[in-house]
Amino acid sequence: IWSIICEDLIDPKLHIKSIEKIFDANFQIKDSASSELKKLTRSIIKTEQSISTTMQNIFTNAKSNDWLGGDNIVLRNGRKAIPIKTTHKNKIKGVVQDQSATGQTTYIEPISIIELNNKLSELYFFIEEEKKRILRELTTLFKPHYNRIKESFNILISLDNYNTRAKFAFKFNGIVPE
């Protein structure tokens, strides 16, 4: 009887390639899921490299002029900032993101980085929108098969239930009650 019931299962090969094109082994959307997503990902990498290079140049300059109030570029309010001695905070144009508890160090996001950080935020927004578009497209692909997918799911639940009972009965030498 199960062989007859299982004939109604939807063929999984029908859309496996569509799913594998979009998702990786950890079920995360691949960067290569669409040409637009690939392009956006490359833009993010390029922008992050520009931010790092620019920040390192400003940091090195501040270090050589003895303006630093710390040893590293830091993250403040979700933005990269340079720790500058408060007495030299006007040497670097930018937005003050934070200040140390002692008030001796001011964390400044250089003005040249602000535009790059804004671009980066915008790119991340576009990536999320593209991922939503990809998922909508995939959903549209499966929508006509909704009833067969649901039916197949219910058949597999029943099959799993009976299979589990059979394994249990076999393990404990069970018999069919009279």
Low-confidence ranges of the chain (pLDDT < 50): none
Q: What is the pLDDT of residue 149?
A: 86
Closest CA to 114 of 96, 97, 95: 95
Instruction: Say what the pLDDT of residue 1 is.
Output: 66
pLDDT for position 178: 82
Run of H or E residues at 49: helix 35-64
How many Å apart are CA 115 and CA 118, to the nearest integer? 5
Q: List, for residues 31-82, the tens digit of each pLDDT value.
A: 999 999 999 999 999 999 999 999 999 999 999 999 999 889 999 888 889 9
- The confidence score (pLDDT) of residue 14 equals 67
74 within 8 A of 83, measured Cβ to Cβ: yes
Q: What is the pLDDT of residue 176?
A: 82
